[in-house]
Amino acid sequence: MISFYQYDTKVFPFITSVQEMLGELELQSLHERMDIVLLDREKDQSTELHKKFYSHFHNKTTEWEDFMKIYLPFLEPICEELKYKNPLYQTIPTFRVHAPGGKAVGEWHIDSDYNHSKNEWNIFLPVTDAYDTSTIFVEYPDDNITNLEAKYGDYYLWKGSVIKHGNVQNTTNQTRISLDFRVVDESQLDTKGKRSINNITSMEVGGYWTKLKDKD
The helix/strand/coil state of 215 is: coil
Q: What is the pLDDT along the chain (216 residues), one digit of tens a residue?
A: 999 999 999 999 999 999 999 999 999 999 998 887 665 666 677 788 899 999 999 999 999 999 999 999 999 999 999 999 999 999 999 999 999 988 888 789 999 988 899 999 999 999 999 999 999 999 998 889 999 999 999 999 999 999 999 999 999 999 999 999 999 999 999 988 888 877 678 999 999 999 998 544
State the distance between the two ends of the chain, measured CA to CA, in whole angstroms: 27
pLDDT at residue 216, as a whole number = 45
Which pTM value belongs to this model? 0.93
- The reported pLDDT for the residue numbered 212 is 96
- 69-77 long-range Cβ contacts below 8 angstroms, 24+ apart: 70/12, 70/13, 70/14, 70/17, 72/212, 73/12, 74/7, 74/12, 75/183, 75/212, 76/212, 76/213
Query: What angle (nearest 5°) sits at the alpha carbon of residue 194, between those of residues 77 and 207?
Result: 50
